[in-house]
Amino acid sequence: MKKQVYHEGYNYVVEYGNNSLIMYKEDTDEWMGDIEYVKVFTVEGHTPRPMILYRKLVVAANKLIAQANSDWFMFNVTDQKRADLYERFTQSIKGYSCQRADKYFYLYRD
d(CA 5, CA 14): 8
Collect contacts of 28-34 with beta carbons under 8 A, ≥24 apart. none
Question: What are the two backbone dihedrals, phi and then psi, of residue 31, each rounded to the nearest 5 degrees?
Answer: -150, 125
- Owning domain of residue 18: 2-109
pLDDT, average across residues 68-86 = 85
d(CA 76, CA 35): 29
Does pLDDT of 32 surpass 80?
no
Average pLDDT over all residues of the chain: 85
pLDDT, average across residues 13-17 = 90
pTM of the model: 0.78
Q: pLDDT exceeding 70 applies to what percent of the chain?
A: 95
At residue 31 the predicted structure's pLDDT band, cuts being 50, 70 and 90, is confident
Per the structure, the count of domains in the chain is 1
